[in-house]
């Protein structure tokens, strides 16, 4: 069985963070593992407080996984502080796993910061260069590339600027744009578009976590990058289509193995190998 590690924060309400990652891994039939970097007291409406985990405990969690288990892909989510970023980057350089997918989480949907804004330089210098794929949403891509994104051409320019910072591939996600849900992948040479009809729903808590974890799962399953993103885009679209009206705010995406299998068959004619 393929094994995928999530290094991320804990969302006690189950819609985002480690919890969304592990649900996504299970739906993909891979074995999920977790290194928790922050415990976030949050729900579908708000972030109440958070407690970051000490960097040495983060390092020891990573050691505990890698000294014992072969890891086929790593998904990284929330990294709240520079010290946490440095600890994670150093350990991943040491263990050099394949398929590092990084979702540079900065804010929760309600606008609460999950990354110290002063950590942006460390993110750029230390974290971005270790990514096989970086998956910023539009506000994150704007912040990292120091440019405004108003249209698809700007998404491409931003992706190129971020690629220059040392990650192998960049996927700028269009969830925050108007129009269809169009994401742009840049591999250093070509651009690839992944488009889906925008679903009218407020229940989009955890979409970015779900998407990056689905991509990491597909890479672990040995799909090439474009195919891994294409299948993950279908997964996240179906997970949003079937999202749940749980809580008073933005409800979570829905992860359900059978739904995925049937949804894929019904909606795309594709079955997973
Ligand atoms: N309302 C929606 N309908 C369809 N797809 C969406 C919708 N909102 C987001 N997506 C898709 O979900 C994925 C996650 O993107 P996004 O929501 O931008 O990430 P994040 O959660 O990091 O802000 C992307 O593929 C995006 O295009
Ligand atoms: C613990 C934790 N990690 C990440 C997020 C952000 O999740 P994301 O999928 O990027 O988007 P929203 O859930 O904020 O819409 C989070 N909220 N909590």
Q: Which of 85, 62, 70, 10 is nearest to 41 (CA)?
A: 10
Torsions phi, psi of 264, nearest 5? Answer: -60, -45
Is 181 a pocket residue for ligand 1 (Cβ < 6 Å)? yes
User: For 19-56, what is each residue's pLDDT tens digit?
Assistant: 999 999 999 999 999 999 999 999 999 999 999 999 99
**Rounded distance between C-alpha atoms, residue 104 and residue 141, angstroms:** 9
Choice among 209, 237, 251, 263 that is catalytic: 209
Report the pLDDT averaged over residues 202-208: 96
Write out the DSSP string of the chain.
--EEEEEEEEETTSSSHHHHHHHHHHHTT-EEEEEEEEEEEE-SS-EEEEEEPPHHHHHHHHHHHHTT---SEEEE----SHHHHHHHHHHHHHH--S-EEE----B-TTS-BSS-GGGHHHIIIIIGGG-SEE--BHHHHHHHHTS---SHHHHHHHHHHHHTTT-SEEEEB-TTSSSS--EEEE-SS-EEEE--PPP--S--BTHHHHHHHHHHHHHHTT--HHHHHHHHHHHHHHHHHT----SSSSPBP---HHHHHHHHHHHHS----
pLDDT of 272 above 70: no
CA-closest residue to ligand 1 atom 8: 175
Structure token pair of residue 148: 């405004």
User: For 130-184, what is each residue's pLDDT tens digit?
Assistant: 999 999 999 999 999 999 999 999 999 999 999 999 999 999 999 999 999 999 9
In the chain, where the domains are located: 3-133+203-268
pTM of the model: 0.95
CB 225 within 8 A of CB 242: no
208 is catalytic: yes
What residue ranges line ligand 2, CB within 6 angstroms?
A: 8-11, 16-17, 40, 42, 77-78, 105, 108-109, 114, 204-209
Report the pLDDT averaged over residues 216-236: 97
Choice among 2, 109, 173, 233 that is catalytic: 173
**ipTM of this model?**
0.98
Q: In ligand 2, which atom is closest to the CA atom of 38?
A: 1
Choice among 44, 122, 207, 237 that is catalytic: 207
Is 168 a pocket residue for ligand 1 (Cβ < 6 Å)? no
* Residue located via tokens 């000294």: 67
First to last CA, the chain: 14
Name which CATH class applies to 3-133+203-268.
alpha beta
Is 198 a pocket residue for ligand 1 (Cβ < 6 Å)? yes
**Rounded distance between C-alpha atoms, residue 166 and residue 174, angstroms:** 22
Q: What percent of the chain has pLDDT over 70?
A: 94
Report the pLDDT averaged over residues 95-115: 96
* Angle formed at CA 23 by CA 21 and CA 26, multiple of 5 degrees: 110
84 is catalytic: no
Number of residues that this document lists for the chain: 273
């Amino acid at each position: 069985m393929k094994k995928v590690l999530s290094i991320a924060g804990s969302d006690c309400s189950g819609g985002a963070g480690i919890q969304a990652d592990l649900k996504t891994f299970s739906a993909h039939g891979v074995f999920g593992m977790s290194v928790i970097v922050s415990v976030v007291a949050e729900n579908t409406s708000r972030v109440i407080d958070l407690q970051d985990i000490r960097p040495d405990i983060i390092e020891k969690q990573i050691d505990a996984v890698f000294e014992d288990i072969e890891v086929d892909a790593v998904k990284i989510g929330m990294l709240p502080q520079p010290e946490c970023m440095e600890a994670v980057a150093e350990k991943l350089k040491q263990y050099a796993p394949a398929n590092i997918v990084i979702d540079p989480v900065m804010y929760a949907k309600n606008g609460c910061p999950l990354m110290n804004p002063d950590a942006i330089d460390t993110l750029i210098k230390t974290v971005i260069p270790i990514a096989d794929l970086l998956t910023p949403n539009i506000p994150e891509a704007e912040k990292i590339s120091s440019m405004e994104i108003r249209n698809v051409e700007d998404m491409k320019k931003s992706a190129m600027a971020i690629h220059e910072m040392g990650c192998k591939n960049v996927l700028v996600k269009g969830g925050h744009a108007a129009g269809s849900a169009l994401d742009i992948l840049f591999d250093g040479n070509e651009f690839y578009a992944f488009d889906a009809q925008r679903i009218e729903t407020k229940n989009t808590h955890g979409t970015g976590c779900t998407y990056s974890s689905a991509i990491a799962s597909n890479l672990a399953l040995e799909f090439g990058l474009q195919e891994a993103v294409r299948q993950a885009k279908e997964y996240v679209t179906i997970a949003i289509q079937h999202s749940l009206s749980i809580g008073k705010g933005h409800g979570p995406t829905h992860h359900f193995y059978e739904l995925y299998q049937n949804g894929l068959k019904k909606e795309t004619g594709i079955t997973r190998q």
